[in-house]
Amino acid sequence: MWPFRRKRASRLVESLTFQDNRSFFEYTCQFGQTQLEKGKGVVGIVLQDQGALDDGKQLVVVHIAADDGGFDTLAPTASAKKEKLLAEDLVIWIPIEHRADIGEEFGDSRCGWVGIIKAKISNKLDISKMYPEIIAEY
């Protein structure tokens, strides 16, 4: 009855939570930002821990999202933050410099990108921002 109407609940989905990290990664390969550009973050999934560097940063093998399913590279965390990355963790990888010689050595020019891991992310995507939830920054 006017002027007192109940507000209708929004039917719009505010976030997408994927079943697992691998599903989120595959979604990103198909529909996410996969263009490699200096300083522009790309989603990756950790494959294997390679231990700590002399400065305390963690070095990991990470699979970087791409339209064709991705490629592998080695990357350190940006800082020696205590939260250790584990296999299957989702991360934001930032390409810093392209080294054509490294790409040629691996037979894939994308592997010539040298980058760092800036953040660990969840498999939850905020629809309004189209950006994943950050768990930890490095």
Q: Is residue 6 part of a domain?
A: no
Q: Is residue 1 part of a domain?
A: no
- Parts of the chain with a pLDDT under 70: 1-12
Q: Is residue 29 part of a domain?
A: yes
SS3 25: helix
Q: Is residue 7 part of a domain?
A: no
Q: Is residue 2 part of a domain?
A: no
Q: How many Cα atoms within 13 Å fall on the side-chain side of residue 22? A: 3
Rounded Cα gap, residues 120 and 135, in angstroms: 5
Q: Residue 6 has what pLDDT?
A: 62
Q: Is residue 60 part of a domain?
A: yes
pTM for this one?
Answer: 0.84
Instruction: Report yes or no: 98 and 88 within 8 Å, Cβ to Cβ.
Output: no
Q: Is residue 3 part of a domain?
A: no
DSSP secondary structure, 49-97, as one string: EEEE-TTS-EEEEEEEP-TTS-EEEEEEBSS--S----TT-EEEEEEEE
Total domains present in the chain = 1
Q: Residue 78 has what pLDDT?
A: 93
Peptide bond into 3 cis (omega under 30): yes
What H or E segment, with its residue span, contains residue 31? helix 21-31
The domain of 23 spans 15-137
Q: Is residue 8 part of a domain?
A: no
Q: Residue 7 has what pLDDT?
A: 59
